[in-house]
Amino acid sequence: MIKEIEVKVGDTFKSYRPIHGEVTHKCVRIKVSKIGCDEYYNGWLVDEDSIMIKPSEVTEVIR
């Protein structure tokens, strides 16, 4: 079982993205799906450039 690293809004974190390699992001919000919307992206992290990152791709939180 893979343990996901907890990221909160305002945290800076590193993630491994297949095309870009390891990248540093700052979390500005966490995607929450509403009733009737696509639930696939629920819990994904959104950075300052509106890039959505899967929580399982986070490798390290920089505090």
Mean pLDDT of 50-61: 92
- For residue 49, the SS3 value is coil
Alpha carbons 2 and 12: distance in angstroms, whole number: 21
Q: Of all residues in the chain, what percent carry a pLDDT higher than 70?
A: 92
pLDDT tens per residue, range 24-40:
999 999 998 777 677 88
How confident is the model at residue 5, as a pLDDT? 86
Q: Which residue has the higher pLDDT, 49 or 63?
A: 49
| Secondary structure (3-state) at 57 | helix
